[in-house]
Chains A and B, each alone.
Chain A
């Protein structure tokens, strides 16, 4: 069985994995990172989105062996010193979730978008989140939250 080394939310792991093990299952079942849900399992819904070396990927569509040597950040790795990431806080404050199933993926995709587009328009937000489906909210509050999160992320950078 191949041995891989990955860093997940700042902690280094060495794991023996079957080649067919999907990254989402490594995260959830081996490392206990159940904050990342598996939704459609067909790379459509985006619920399983994580950052792989700083870029979003759908973790149900990556083999754990393909991630060997990578740095992974999940929704569980965003909060620092016990306080939520500005994008998480914005989702909370703008009531951008109902059941919450899509939220981890939405937040990761939103952070990825803001990295490229610090002050995104509504259109840019809707396009940036095109790979993430929400079955509850109708997206309006999500768009508002991403706008607010983007502003607060900008301020967080400025004040730090």
Chain B
């Protein structure tokens, strides 16, 4: 379908983009357009104006900043996958990004757009939640930092305020001893996750010291599997793993849709968490 009419601007700087957004409360940011254009074509959104931030230099690039990796919001999925800095400093993100959509969508779609879109079925929100990333937003009023735990508010709703642009994300580097894995369960190669599990696990001397687990599509936002994380802490690698991962679906309210009912999603969360943690911990 053809979208309803809107105006289009491509500001030359971030400051100008913030002004455009401040001047019109029905204006909307467009990044890669891979989520927004389908919404416009289905006429589920009616912005008066699109503010194209895809080419802004302030939002570009991946930077090694010592204790964290800074990823500009307009870094495409393809660029994230190819980045040596991401591979070294945030390997879980590289793993998960390779499972997003298909090559053509990954050439256009951006890391920042995926987070701002706040789709609980998206693969990257759960990863950023598990890695305890910090999102940097700018508006005409200035800049602020939002921890991932406070960023995802509801279905397709982030805590970005009207007029704010997501500039980039700080992903803390996890040092030696950490292992990672992303498990995605989907019907076809290019499809969205029915359930996904992002796991970061620190092990030493044959036991798990710390586990961080982010769940994709297990609620209206991405969620941490806190009960499983607690159950895994201090656990020796071995038969107890599966039992600890049985806690993965505790306190979740997964959606029902064409692909799965909530009880099936809970089952998937338990099974996939076990697989993800086992692989991340390097256990047999």
Which of A's residues lie within 8 Å of B, judged by CB? 2, 18-20, 22, 25, 41-44, 46, 49, 52, 55-58, 61-63, 65-66, 68, 109, 112-113, 126-128, 130-132
Among B99-107, B144-152, B250-258, the stretch that binds chain A is: B99-107
A-B interface pairs (CB < 8 A), number: 82
* A49 interface neighbour in B33, B38, B101, B104, Cβ under 8 Å: B104
- A43-B37, A63-B37 are known contacts. Are A58 and B8 too (CB-CB below 8 A)? no
Distance in angstroms between the alpha carbons of A112 and B105 in the assembled complex: 13
A61 engages B37 (CB within 8 Å): yes
How long is the Cα–Cα vector from A2 to B1 in the complex, in angstroms?
21
Look across to chain A and name the residue whose beta carbon is closest to the beta carbon of B54: A66
A128 touches B5 (CB 8 A): no
Contact at B107–A55, with CB atoms within 8 Å?
yes
How does the 8 Å CB contact mask read for B87-108 relative to A, with 1 for contact and 0 for none? 0000000000000011111011
CB < 8 Å neighbour of A57 from B3, B7, B104: B104
Please determine whether B105 and A19 come into contact, CB atoms closer than 8 angstroms.
Answer: no
Given contacts A19-B50, A20-B6, A130-B190, A109 and B33 within 8 Å (CB-CB): no
Q: Are B3 and A66 in contact (CB under 8 A)?
A: no
Q: Give CA–CA (A18, B164) in the complex, Å.
A: 26
Interface presence of B207 (CB below 8 A): no
Determine the distance from Cα of A132 to Cα of B78 in the docked complex, in whole angstroms.
Answer: 17
Decide yes or no whether B52 CB sits under 8 A from chain A: yes
Say how far B49's CB is from chain A's closest CB, in angstroms.
Answer: 9
Selected from A44, A63, A126, A128, the residue in CB contact (under 8 A) with B103 is A128
Q: How far is the CB of B89 from chain A (nearest CB, A)?
A: 23
B contact residues vs A (CB 8 Å cutoff): 1-8, 10, 30, 33-34, 37-38, 40-41, 50, 52, 54, 78, 101-105, 107-108, 188-190
Q: Check if A43 sits within 8 Å of B38, measured CB to CB.
A: yes
Chain A contacts for B189, CB-based, 8 A:
126-127, 130
- Docked-complex contact B104 and A109, CB < 8 angstroms: yes
A46 to B102 alpha-carbon distance, docked (Å): 10
Q: Tell me whether A20 and B104 are in contact in the complex, defined as CB-CB below 8 angstroms, given that A42-B38, A61-B34, A130-B189 are known contacts.
A: no
B102 near A130: Cβ-Cβ < 8 Å: yes
B189 nearest in chain A by CB position = A130
CB pair A131 B102 closer than 8 Å:
yes
Closest Cβ neighbor of B50 among chain A residues: A19
| Contact indicator A61/B108 (Cβ below 8 Å) | yes
Contacting residues, chain A, for B108 (C-beta < 8 A): 57-58, 61-62
Which residues of the other chain, B, contact A42 by a CB distance below 8 angstroms?
A: 38, 41
A19-B7, A20-B3, A20-B5 known; A55+B78 contact, CB < 8 A: yes
| Also in contact, A20 and B102, with CB within 8 A (given A61-B33, A61-B38) | no
Given A46-B104, A131-B104, A131-B105, are A19 and B37 neighbors across the interface (CB < 8 Å)?
no
Chain A residues within an 8 Å CB radius of B8: 2, 19, 63, 65
Shortest beta-carbon distance from A58 to chain B in Å: 5
A109 to B107, CA, bound (A): 12
Q: A62-B108, A66-B54, A126-B189 are in contact. List 16 more A-B contacts (CB 8 A).
A: A2-B8, A20-B6, A22-B2, A42-B41, A43-B105, A46-B102, A46-B104, A49-B104, A61-B37, A65-B52, A66-B30, A66-B33, A109-B103, A127-B189, A130-B190, A131-B101
